[in-house]
Chain A
Amino acid sequence: MASSFAKVMSSRTTGLIMASLGAGAVATGYLMSDNATVSADQRRKLYPPSADFPDLRKHNNCMASALTPAIYAKLRDKITPNNWTLDQCIQTGVDNPGHPFIKTVGMVAGDEESYEVFAEIFDPVIKDRHNGYDPKTMKHPTDLDASKIHSGVFDEHYVLSSRVRTGRSIRGLSLPPACSRSERREVERVTVQALAGLKGDLSGRYYSLTEMTEEEQQRLIDDHFLFDKPVSPLLTCAFMARDWPDARGIWHNNEKTFLIWINEEDHTRVISMEKGGNMKRVFERFCRGLKQVEHLIQERGWEFMWNERLGYILTCPSNLGTGLRAGVHVRLPKLSKDARFGKILENLRLQKRGTGGVDTAAVGDTFDISNLDRLGKSEVELVQLVVDGVNYLIECEKRLEKGQDIKIPAPIQQSRK
Chain B
Amino acid sequence: MPFGNSHNTLKMKFSSEQEFPDLSKHNNHMAKVLTPALYEKLRSKQTPSGFTLDDVIQTGVDNPGHPFIMTVGCVAGDEETYEVFKELLDPVIQDRHGGYKPTDKHKTDLNPSNLKGGDDLDANYVLSSRVRTGRSVRGFCLPPHCSRGERRAVEKLSVEALGALTGDLKGKYYALKNMTEAEQQQLIDDHFLFDKPVSPLLLASGMARDWPDARGIWHNDNKTFLVWVNEEDHLRVISMQKGGNMKEVFNRFCTGLTKIEELFKNKGHAFMWNEHLGYVLTCPSNLGTGLRAGVHVKLPNLSKYRQFEEILKRLRLQKRGTGGVDTAAVGGVFDISNADRLGFSEVELVQMVVDGVKLLVEMEKRLEKGQAIEDLMPAQK
The one of A10, A16, A34, A91 that contacts B10, using a Cβ cutoff of 8 Å: A10
Q: A47-B149, A181-B18, A182-B14 are in contact. Are A83 and B2 (CB under 8 A)?
A: no
A12-42 residues at the B interface, CB under 8 angstroms: 12-13, 15-16, 18, 29-40
| Least CB distance, A20 to chain B, in whole angstroms | 9
In contact, B268 and A36 (Cβ under 8 angstroms): no
Q: What is the size category of the interface that chain B forms with chain A?
A: 35 or more
Please tell me which stretch of A48-56, A139-147, A219-227, A341-349 contacts chain B, meaning at least 4 of its Cβ atoms lie within 8 angstroms of it: A48-56
- Which residues of A lie under 8 Å from residue B5 when comparing CB positions? 13, 16, 40
**B181-215 CB contacts (< 8 Å) to partner A:** 203-204, 208-211, 213
B4 and A40 contact, CB distance less than 8 A: yes
Q: Once the chains bind, are A85 and B4 in contact (CB under 8 Å)?
A: yes
Which residues of chain B have C-beta atoms less than 8 A from A67's C-beta? Answer: none
B228 contacts the other chain (CB 8 A): no
- Asked whether A10 lies within 8 Å of B6 as measured between CB atoms, the reply is yes
CB-CB under 8 A from A38, the residues of chain B are 48-49, 139-141
Instruction: Report how far A221 CA is from B209 CA in the complex, Å.
Output: 33
Whether A87 sits at the interface, judged by CB under 8 Å, is yes
Write the chain A residue with the least CB distance to B156.
A30
| Given A16-B5, A54-B210, A95-B209, A43 contacting B18 (CB threshold 8 A) | no
Question: What 0/1 readout, one digit per residue, does chain B (65-81) give for beta carbons within 8 Å of chain A?
Answer: 00000000000001110
Q: Is the CB of B47 within 8 A of A37?
A: yes
Q: Does A246 contact B (CB under 8 A)?
A: yes
The answer to whether A183 touches B2, judged by C-beta atoms less than 8 angstroms apart, is: no
Q: Are A181 and B10 in contact (CB under 8 A)?
A: no
With A43-B147, A95-B209, A180-B19 in contact, is A37–B62 under 8 Å at CB? no
B150 at the interface (CB under 8 A from A): yes
Top 4 nearest A-B pairs (CB, nearest first) are: A47-B149, A51-B149, A182-B18, A182-B14
Closest A residue to B47 by CB, please name it: A37
Cα–Cα, bound, A276→B18 (Å): 44
Q: Which of A121-129, A234-242, A326-334, A366-374 contacts B (4 or more CB under 8 A)?
A: A234-242
Q: Is the CB of A180 within 8 A of B14?
A: yes
Is B1 an interface residue, CB under 8 A from the partner? Answer: yes
Bound Cα distance from A83 to B10, whole angstroms: 8
Bound form: Cα–Cα A215–B140 in Å: 50
Q: Is the CB of A83 within 8 A of B139?
A: no
Q: Provide the residues of chain B in CB contact with A363, threshold 8 Å.
A: none
Question: Known: A94-B209, A236-B203. Is A30-B268 also a contact (CB below 8 A)?
Answer: yes
Min distance, Cβ B196 to any Cβ of chain A, angstroms: 9
B42-57, CB under 8 A of A: which get 1 and which 0? 0000111110001000
Given contacts A32-B139, A34-B138, 20 further A-B contacts (CB under 8 A): A4-B13, A10-B9, A16-B46, A16-B50, A29-B153, A31-B268, A36-B79, A37-B140, A39-B49, A39-B50, A47-B149, A91-B209, A94-B210, A178-B7, A180-B10, A180-B11, A210-B22, A242-B61, A243-B61, A246-B22
Q: Which of A18, A38, A210 has the most CB of B within 10 A?
A: A38
User: Whole-angstrom distance from the CB of A48 to the nearest CB of chain B?
Assistant: 8
How far apart are the CA atoms of A13 and B50 in the complex, in Å? 11
Does A39 contact B213, Cβ atoms closer than 8 Å?
no
Q: Which residues in chain A, 86-106, are within 8 Å of chain B measured between CB atoms?
A: 87-88, 91, 94-95
Residues of B with C-beta under 8 A to A194:
none
Inter-chain CA distance A178–B1, complex, in Å, is: 11
Q: Is A244 engaged at the interface, CB distance under 8 Å to the other chain?
A: yes
For B3, list chain A residues within 8 Å (CB).
83, 88, 178
A37 and B14 contacting across the interface, CB-CB below 8 Å:
no
Tell me the smallest distance from the CB of B361 to a CB of chain A, in Å: 43
The yes or no answer to A358 lying at the interface (CB within 8 A) is no
Are B147 and A83 in contact, CB atoms less than 8 angstroms apart?
A: no
The answer to whether B2 touches A82 (Cβ under 8 A) is no
Residues of chain A within 8 A of B6, CB atoms compared? 10, 12-13, 16, 79, 83
- Assembly CA distance A58 to B213 (angstroms): 11
Whether, in the assembled complex, B177 has its beta carbon less than 8 Å from a beta carbon of chain A, the answer is yes
Tell me the chain B residues, 233-286 only, with Cβ under 8 Å from chain A. Answer: 267-270
Contacts A34-B270, A181-B21, A242-B58; is A82 near B7 (CB within 8 Å)? yes
Is A205 close to B, CB under 8 A? Answer: no
Task: Flag whether A70 is at the interface (Cβ < 8 A).
Answer: no
Chain B 1-39 residues near chain A, CB threshold 8 A: 1-7, 9-11, 13-15, 18-22
- A5 to B11 CA separation, bound complex (whole angstroms): 10
Q: Is A52 in contact with B211, judged by CB distance below 8 angstroms?
A: no
Query: CA–CA, A241 to B7, complex, Å?
Result: 18
Residue contact B7 to A83, C-beta cutoff 8 Å: yes
Interface assignment of B152: CB less than 8 Å from any CB of chain A = yes
> Could you write out 18 A-B pairs with CB less than 8 Å apart?
A4-B13, A10-B9, A16-B46, A16-B50, A37-B78, A37-B79, A38-B141, A47-B153, A52-B148, A82-B10, A94-B213, A95-B210, A180-B14, A180-B54, A181-B20, A181-B21, A182-B11, A246-B21
Residue A410 lies at the interface, judged by CB distance under 8 Å to chain B? no
Contacts of B9 in A (CB 8 A): 10, 15-16, 83
Asked if A185 CB lies within 8 Å of chain B CBs, one says: yes
- A46: chain B residues at CB < 8 Å are 149
Measured CA separation A341–B4 after assembly (Å): 50
B22 touches A47 (CB 8 A): no
Q: Does B157 make an interface contact (CB < 8 A)?
A: yes
Contact of A244 with B62 at beta-carbon distance under 8 Å, contacts A10-B9, A47-B150 already known: yes
Contacts of A239 in B (CB 8 A): 1
Docked complex: A195-229 residues within 8 A CB-CB of B: 210
Q: Is the CB of B148 within 8 A of A243?
A: no
| Structural contact, B49 and A40, CB atoms closer than 8 A | yes
Which positions 333-365 of chain B face chain A at CB distance < 8 Å?
none
Chain A residue at minimal CB-CB distance from B213: A55
Report if A339 contacts B (CB, 8 A).
no
> Are B4 and A36 closer than 8 Å at their CB atoms?
no
Bound-state CA distance A246–B22 (Å) is 7
Given contacts A31-B268, A37-B139, A52-B149, contact A181 B19 (CB under 8 A): yes
In the bound complex, how far is the Cα of B148 from the Cα of A5, in angstroms?
Answer: 33
Q: Which residue of B lies closest to A210 (CB)?
A: B22
Distance in angstroms between the alpha carbons of A106 and B264 in the assembled complex = 37
Does A8 touch B at the CB level, under 8 Å?
yes
Q: List A contacts of B139 (CB < 8 A).
A: 30, 32-34, 36-38
Q: How far is the CB of B34 from chain A (nearest CB, A)?
A: 13
A241 and B19 contact, CB distance less than 8 A:
no
